[in-house]
Amino acid sequence: MRPFETLRDLCHGQPMLEQVCLNWKSILGTGLAIYIVTKLAKRLYQRRIALGKIRGLRERIAAKKLAMVERLSQKASQDPGHGGSSALVTRERLEIISMPLEHLLDQLKGGQLKPIQVLEAFQARALEVTEEHNCVCDFITEARDWALALESVPGDQRGPLYGLPMSIKECYFVKGYDATVGLSRFINQPLPADASIIQHLKELGAVPFCLTNVPQTMKSYGCSNPVFGVTTNPWDKTRSPGGSSGGEACLLALNGSPLGIGSDVGGSLRTPAHFCGVVGLKPTTGRIYQEGRKPGSEGFLVGINSNAGFMSKNVDGIALGMKVLCNETKTMYVDSPKLPISPGCQRAVKLAANLLEKDGHTVVPFHLKHLQDLYYIYIDHILADGGVNAMAWLDGDIIDKSISINYLAWSTPEFLRKTLIWAFIAARSPDIASYAIRGVTKTYQLWRSMKKAIDIKTEILDDMRKQEIDILLGPGFNFPAVPEDYPSQLISGVFVPGIYNVLDFPAGVLPVTRQTKQDQDLLATTYSSSDHTHHLVRTSISNATNMPIGIQVIGKPWEEELVIHAMSEIERLRTEGALARGQYTPDWESLDARPLPAWYDDAKVGIFMHFGPYAVPGVESEWFWMQAMRNESEGDQKCAKYLEDYFPPKFVYQDFGPMLTMDFFDTDFISDLVVDSGAKYLVFTSKHHDGYCNWPSTYSYGWNSMAVGPRRDVLGELKSSFEKRHPDFHFGVYYSLFEWFNPIYLKDKENNFTTREYALNKMQPEMKELINKYSPDVLWVDGDWEAKPEYFGSKDFLAWLYNESPSKSNIVTNDRWGQGTAQKHGGYYSGPDRFSPGTLQAHKWENAMTVDKISWGHRRDINIEDILSMDEMVTEITKTVSCGGNILINVGPTKEGTIIPVFQERLRSIGAWLKVNGEAIYGSKPWTTQNDTLSSNVWYTKKGSDVFGIVLGWPKDDVILLGAPKVEQGQTKITMLGFSGTLDYTTEFQGVAVQFPSLGKVLQGCSSGCQWGYVLKFEGLAKDDDYKVDISIEV
């Protein structure tokens, strides 16, 4: 008998049941539809509630920040010696945040600094840093009251942390503040009391002043959540700072806090330390206060310990923190886990081991047994609840991308995860397939797993004691910092730090090196092209040159002091040891690994000024002396004839010196003009190939601006004007390595540069005097073609510049350091003069070009056709920035120290154009396409998710057809900078047709600031991933 016949029989004679039997499909479909609609409606309602709570919280915090900025700015304006790095960070505040921690505490305890001064200094810096990187969730308003109250504490009763501001990871309980861990459900749930560790730190005199960002649920080594948004890496804003203590690491790396508190359940403070180049320590469980933290989910993790720990910019900070909370010849190993470790991270461990060995410590290999078992135990315990507790908090909330893969795993039924999904992963990545089926869910399994972990720990400790091992060295992570979309896809990376949570060994991270080009070149042989996970790693770090790389220092339980001591030794040897006096050693591998300070890439536009005695004749070019002497080409002969026709027979080039009067050299006018041009930095000639110095150089034998000519310190006066009138501006200098006719240099040249009298006794000390005296932000060197960098001592000088000079943190240099260095070594690549490749370059570069098409120095015989038009100028700026470069625009002052009117007009016109269109230039990055595929007069830049198309020339019939942008109807918005309103567009077979407004309306709206190039702003385009193009630049 068939089932349906039986069902009919059951329904027969029962009117209601008969209706059910006859219409069961409709009833089931209707029920299912009602269920789905109800679930969707609930989800939409919950999302609406969550967004409302998030919006309210963000508005409150924004108002709080605005009030802080107003108060701190007002106090800054009252500082007569402002001269700081910005409107908020005055010179006094800059000095405070730059102090070593021990000295800062001495100044506080001794009364030389007041707690409120120090608090405001770090508040000002933290506001700046979070504006750029979004690392601070909230500022603790009461910190000001706490700092002021400390002033009444007698000197002999001041605690060890007296007046020290501290940043706190957002998961810690601070009375009156939420601990959301990135979940909207916990907004507006202020904590009734401080966590034990916060309370104790305050009792010791610390001033907690801000809360730092975390990834949603803290179960990711990314750092983003729907409540507070994305935190970016301090070295590269496209990359993650790590997690879950990512906001803390970012703030510390940029001097926004002197000491911070994080937490660690699987590298949660060590991974951010590794990614951001700071120091962190995970102590043994119970060594310091643990209570008073919001976990990442409901329930309690069994067998894996989460630990509170200190983070700081250097080892002194964590040593101080551990000392105040704990009341209180090594043998090392090189770790080699089964999971692939990037070449740079392997090199970092070997580098630290070599430093210790050369300092007299015994270094031996140590095999960490049962490594694979430790990985399995870690993941078994992390997934022991099957994600139930995390899902309990995520239900109804917005899911952040940093935990998207976690969420997928938690929400997938176990039988599917262990069958179909396992098979899918196994086919793509055999190395990690086994992790897809992990997770002990039975009590007896958990007990057995914990016993196994204890047995492994006992065996490892026995091995360490037998071999007299005190400390272990290992990689800080599998690889350097990755872009923010990758942490959820590369979950296996957490196993390297996570095994020490299983073992409950204290472990710290400190930076020891940076990713180099050589590390990048080895990626292909380290990671398999057939394994999907390996492919993701290679892709994520394919452009990670210059990113920080740390190592882990691991000790036995309860021996944190030994771990800190070992970290201090490595830090000391790395910075002051026999191998190097500083972080950078005098070799190209180390020097080229230095990251370019971020301000330079953001600036985009600079002004160049060539000025010297060659401005007096003003004929042919700044090479007048050499041209007149060699008398070979037509231009040379012109210079020689000029001397012959207008000056006595014995007149020599040096006689032009007294004629360089600079009668009308107005430094305030010059500085205002440069700033009006829209430029963010200036490079002024300190010394050209003629050897004349525009400052009172001790090594110039009287051939300088103070001794001959204007009798003025040209560089000093100019820099002072910028500091006074435009304190945020970046002042730089040009310096020629060699001098045409210096007899000492010529003697070395005659000896085939086997002697180095000029380099050692003239050039090197003079360059150091220049840097020490003026602390420039740019050092633009030239004259590299005659001798090798070994003659000039370029590598030794750069090591000093980057490690010890007063400009070490902020200075950028170019690549002309001797034969063979151009476009290979140094800082950014300046290429040949007027370098404009028109294509995206792999390394940060600069287009140094001239408004005068012929000369870099002033020419008195210049004609209007020799000067670039504004159309040509805007085209050059646009192409350069679109292809990832900076542009350095040269104008040469006259012998009177003035800028001729036509040059003034060009500079101010550039400034007017940038005032309207600077959003597309400053701080921008190259897009997936530089030059449009259909309209060749359109070039693109990108900032965040917005794309800018710079149109060089007004389109015919007010319509332009673009092939590169992928618009999405209803999502994409197109506007024109300088013009209000949105622009209409239609999608065509070839691309998108954008309808321009009338030219008259546009010109009326932006005055004279946009007629040389019109900028379209695209919002809501398809994501960059859809374009399948690598757009990274090595900075």
Most confident of 307-311, 466-470, 754-758: 754-758
Between 37 and 681, where is the model more confident? 681
Same domain, 569 and 640: no
Provide the percentage of residues in the chain whose pLDDT is more than 70.
87
Q: Which two tokens stand for residue 911?
A: 């400034």
Parent domain of 14: 3-42
- In the predicted structure, residue 124 carries a pLDDT above the cut 90: yes
Q: What's the pLDDT at 398?
A: 84
Mean pLDDT to the nearest integer, 1-23? 59
Cα–Cα dist 278/296, whole Å: 24
The more confidently predicted of residues 43 and 257 is: 257
Q: What is the pLDDT of residues 983-1033, one digit of tens each?
A: 999 988 788 999 999 888 888 777 667 789 999 999 999 765 454 443 334
Distance set, CA 891 to CA 99, 619, 899, 922, 960 (Å)? 40, 15, 8, 21, 35
pLDDT confidence of 399, banded at 50, 70, 90? confident
How far apart CA 520 and CA 538 sit, in angstroms, is 9
Distance CA 208, CA 704 (A): 53
Give the model's pLDDT for residue 581. Answer: 40
Task: Judge whether 929 lies within some domain.
Answer: no
Same domain, 946 and 903: no
Better-predicted residue by pLDDT, 23 or 374: 374
The model's confidence at residue 539, banded by pLDDT at 50, 70 and 90, is confident
- CATH number where 512 lies: 3.90.1300.10
pLDDT tier for residue 6 given thresholds of 50, 70 and 90? low
Residue 134: predicted pLDDT? 96
- Could you tell me if 570 and 694 lie in one domain? no
Q: Is residue 591 assigned to a domain? A: no
Report DSSP letters for 958-992, one per residue: GEEEESS----TTT-EEEETTEEEEPPEEE-SSSE
Q: How far apart are the first and last CA of the chain?
A: 78
Q: 266-311 pLDDT, tens per residue?
A: 888 988 998 999 998 888 776 776 677 888 666 555 667 778 889 9
For every residue of 390-445, DSSP letters joined together read HHHHHTTSPPPGGGHHHHHHHHS-HHHHTTHHHHHHHHH-HHHHGGGG----SHHH
Q: Is 690 in the same domain as 735? A: yes
How many domains are contained in the chain?
Answer: 5
Closest CA relative to residue 337, chosen from 349, 325, 323 = 349
Residue ending a domain, choose from 544, 579, 614: 579
Q: Are residues 208 and 254 in the same domain?
A: yes
CB 968, CB 959: distance < 8 Å? no
* Tokens, residue 137: 């969730």
Positions of E strands within 255-324? 260-264, 279-282, 307-312
Task: Check whether residue 754 and residue 889 sit in a common domain.
Answer: yes
The mean pLDDT of 522-529, rounded to a whole number, is 79
Cβ pair 948, 1017 in contact under 8 A? yes
**pLDDT value, residue 748:** 94
Q: Decide: residue 558, CB within 10 A, 0-12 exposed, 13-18 middle, 19+ buried.
A: middle
Q: Are 510 and 269 in contact (CB under 8 A)?
A: no
Same domain, 378 and 278: no
The catalytically annotated residue of 85, 220, 240, 244 is: 244
909 is catalytic: no
Report, as an integer, the average pLDDT of 704-721.
94
48 belongs to a structural domain: no
Question: Is the distance from CB of 982 to CB of 843 less than 8 angstroms?
Answer: no
Query: pLDDT tens digit string along 1002-1014?
Result: 887 776 677 899 9
CATH number of the domain enclosing 751: 3.20.20.80
Does position 438 have pLDDT exceeding 70, yes or no?
no
Dihedrals phi, psi of 167, to nearest 5 degrees: -95, 150
pLDDT band at 1035 (very low <50, low <70, confident <90, very high): very low
Pick the more confident residue, 492 or 221: 221
In this model, does residue 844 exceed pLDDT 80?
yes
Judge if pTM exceeds 0.75.
no
Contact status, residue 127 vs residue 68, Cβ threshold 8 Å: yes
Q: What is the CATH number of the domain that holds 996?
A: 2.60.40.1180
How far is it, in rounded angstroms, from Cα 410 to Cα 340? 26
Tokens 């590269």 belong to residue: 236
Closest to 234 in 3D by CA, of 146, 155, 136, 340: 136
- For the cut 80, the answer to whether the pLDDT of residue 579 exceeds it is no
The answer to the question of residue 587 being in a domain is: no
**In the structure encoding, which two tokens stand for residue 442, read together?**
């039975």
Q: How confident is the model at residue 237 (pLDDT cuts 50, 70, 90)?
A: confident
Q: Are 862 and 892 in contact (CB under 8 A)?
A: no
Is 590 a member of any domain?
no
Tell me how far apart the alpha carbons of residues 91 and 649 are, in angstroms, rounded to a whole number: 54
pLDDT at 582: 42
Mean pLDDT of the chain: 85
pLDDT in tens, 918-941: 999 999 999 989 999 999 999 999
User: What share of the chain has pLDDT > 90, as a percent?
Assistant: 49
The DSSP element (H or E) to which 224 belongs, if any, is strand 224-225
pLDDT at 146 over 60: yes
Dump the DSSP string for 5-59.
HHHHHHHTT-HHHHHHHHTHHHHHHHHHHHHHHHHHHHHHHHHHHHHHHHHHHHH
Active-site position among 109, 167, 169, 297: 169
- How confident is the model over 653-660, as a mean pLDDT? 94
Residue 761's φ and ψ, nearest 5 degrees, are: -105, -10
Integer Cα distance of 572 and 578 in angstroms: 10
Residues 6+ apart with CB under 8 A from 109: 155, 158, 162, 163
Q: Which residues contact 875 (CB under 8 A, 6 or more apart)?
A: 952, 1013
Q: Give CA 845 to chain center in angstroms.
A: 18
- Confidence (pLDDT) at 426: 57
Instruction: Convert the pLDDT of each residue in 489-516 to its tens digit.
Output: 776 667 788 888 888 889 889 988 888 8
942 is a catalytic site residue: no
- Whether the Cβ atoms of residue 516 and residue 254 lie closer than 8 Å to each other: no
Q: Looking at the structure, tell me whether residues 530 and 660 fall in a common domain.
A: no
Examine the domain organization and report whether 534 and 683 are in the same domain.
no
d(CA 353, CA 239) in angstroms, rounded, equals 28
Is the CB of residue 246 less than 8 Å from the CB of residue 215?
Answer: yes
Name which of 736, 738, 653, 731 is nearest 687 in CA terms: 736
- pLDDT on residue 81: 44
Query: What pLDDT is stored for residue 1028 in this prediction?
Result: 42
416 C-beta neighbours (distance < 10 Å), count: 10
Other Cβ atoms less than 10 A from the Cβ of 90: the count is: 26
The C-alpha atoms of residue 903 and residue 899 are separated, in whole angstroms, by 6
Amino acid at 642: Y
| Residue 196 DSSP class | H
Residue 694: inside a domain = yes
User: Considering the domain boundaries, does residue 776 fall inside one?
Assistant: yes
Q: What is the pLDDT of residue 419?
A: 65
3-state secondary structure (DSSP) of residue 551: strand
User: Same structural domain for residues 297 and 338?
Assistant: no
Cα(276)–Cα(978) distance, rounded to whole angstroms? 38
Q: Which of 187, 248, 191, 251 is nearest to 218 (CA)?
A: 248
Task: Please say if the pLDDT value at position 115 is more than 50.
Answer: yes
899, pLDDT greater than 90: yes
- What whole-number distance in Å separates Cα of residue 312 and Cα of residue 319? 9
Select which of 245, 268, 794, 805 is catalytic.
268
In the residue annotation, 169 being an active-site residue is answered as: yes
Average pLDDT of span 683-709: 93
Amino acid 409 reads: A
Task: State the Cα–Cα distance between residues 291 and 172, nearest whole angstrom.
Answer: 9
Across the strands, what pairs with 886?
Answer: 846
Identify whether residues 116 and 177 lie together within a single domain: yes
Average pLDDT of 74-89?
59
Q: Which of 305, 323, 341 is the last residue of a domain?
A: 323
The answer to whether 93 and 125 are in contact (CB under 8 A) is yes
Top-confidence residue, 677 or 217: 677
Helix %, strand %, coil % of the chain (to 5): 45, 15, 40
Pick the last residue of a domain from 323, 345, 371. Answer: 323
Q: What is the pLDDT of residue 635?
A: 86
Number of residues that make up the chain: 1035
At 179-211, the pLDDT tens digits run: 999 999 999 999 998 988 898 899 889 999 999
Residue 951: what are its φ and ψ, rounded to 5°? -95, 115
- The pLDDT, as a whole number, for residue 97 is 87
Q: Which residue has the tokens 């394994």?
A: 531
Exposed / middle / buried, residue 200 (Cβ in 10 Å: 0-12, 13-18, 19+): middle
Q: What is the pLDDT of residue 78?
A: 62
Residue 923 lies in a domain: no
Strand partners for 475:
551
Query: Which residues are CB-contacts of 213 (< 8 A; sequence separation ≥ 6)?
Result: 134, 135, 136, 137, 170, 223, 225, 228, 229, 231, 246, 247
Give pLDDT tens digits for 307-331.
888 999 888 888 888 777 654 333 4
Cα(870)–Cα(943) distance, integer angstroms? 25
Tell me the three state secondary structure of residue 138: strand
Judged against a pLDDT cut of 50, whether residue 545 lies above it is answered with: yes
429/257: higher pLDDT: 257
Say how far apart CA 553 and CA 730 lie, in whole Å.
39
pLDDT score of 457: 82
Neighbouring-strand partners of residue 169: 212
Q: Are residues 134 and 278 in the same domain?
A: yes
